[in-house]
């Protein structure tokens, strides 16, 4: 597995007010993901084109097994949705796809990051 978090130091993590990731080896994960209980939002941090980017969306549990967009594994999936600016000023459109509820096992499955990159491209376009 490639080292994807070259820039992600403990200091960066602290600045982003993310949960305690002490138990996670940042050199071994392709992305970080957590739920913010207060707002109900799902956050994803990953490296894209050598830059760290953060995605903020919602992740609704589908209560069923499905194929994960990031790792292509089969497990309990949720629908991760992000609001992006639409073509018309002030309008928003939603983009998203199925991803694992459990980001730890997702990261275990992720040997290639190309599908995750494709997802980010799709979100950001």
Question: What beta strand segments (E) does 1-125 contain?
Answer: 31-36, 41-48, 51-67, 74-85, 92-100
Q: Does 32 bind Zn ion (CB under 5 A)?
A: no
| Residues 6+ positions from 64 with CB-CB distance below 8 Å | 76, 77
Shortest separation between residue 8's beta carbon and Zn ion, angstroms: 19
Toward Zn ion, which CB reaches closer, 55 or 71?
A: 71
Which of 31, 48, 70, 80 forms a contact with Zn ion (CB under 5 A)?
A: 70
**Six-digit token pair at 95?**
């983009």
Give which of 15, 106, 4, 9 is closest to 46, Cα–Cα. 4
Q: Are 115 and 72 in contact (CB under 8 A)?
A: yes
Q: Does 71 bind Zn ion (CB under 5 A)?
A: yes
Which of 8, 44, 55, 68 forms a contact with Zn ion (CB under 5 A)?
A: 68
Give which of 37, 44, 43 is closest to 113, Cα–Cα. 44
Q: Does 106 bind Zn ion (CB under 5 A)?
A: yes
| Piece in contact with Zn ion (CB under 5 A), picked from 3-11, 12-20, 47-55, 106-114 | 106-114
Q: Does 100 bind Zn ion (CB under 5 A)?
A: yes
Shortest separation between residue 40's beta carbon and Zn ion, angstroms: 21
Shortest separation between residue 70's beta carbon and Zn ion, angstroms: 4
Shortest separation between residue 68's beta carbon and Zn ion, angstroms: 3
**Six-digit token pair at 49?**
């084109």
Chain residues that interact with Zn ion, rule: CB under 5 A: 68, 70-71, 100, 106
């Amino acid at each position: 597995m490639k080292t994807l978090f070259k820039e992600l130091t403990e200091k960066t993590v602290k600045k982003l007010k993310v949960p305690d990731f002490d138990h996670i080896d940042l050199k071994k994960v392709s992305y970080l993901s957590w739920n913010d209980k207060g707002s109900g939002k799902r956050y994803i941090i990953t490296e894209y084109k050598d830059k760290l980017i953060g995605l903020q969306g919602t992740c609704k549990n589908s209560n069923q097994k499905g194929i994960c967009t990031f790792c292509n594994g089969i497990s309990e999936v949720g629908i991760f949705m992000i609001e992006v600016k639409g073509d018309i000023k002030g309008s928003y459109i939603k983009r998203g796809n199925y991803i694992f509820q459990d980001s730890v096992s997702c990261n275990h499955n992720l040997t290639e990051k190309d599908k995750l990159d494709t997802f980010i491209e799709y979100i950001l376009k």
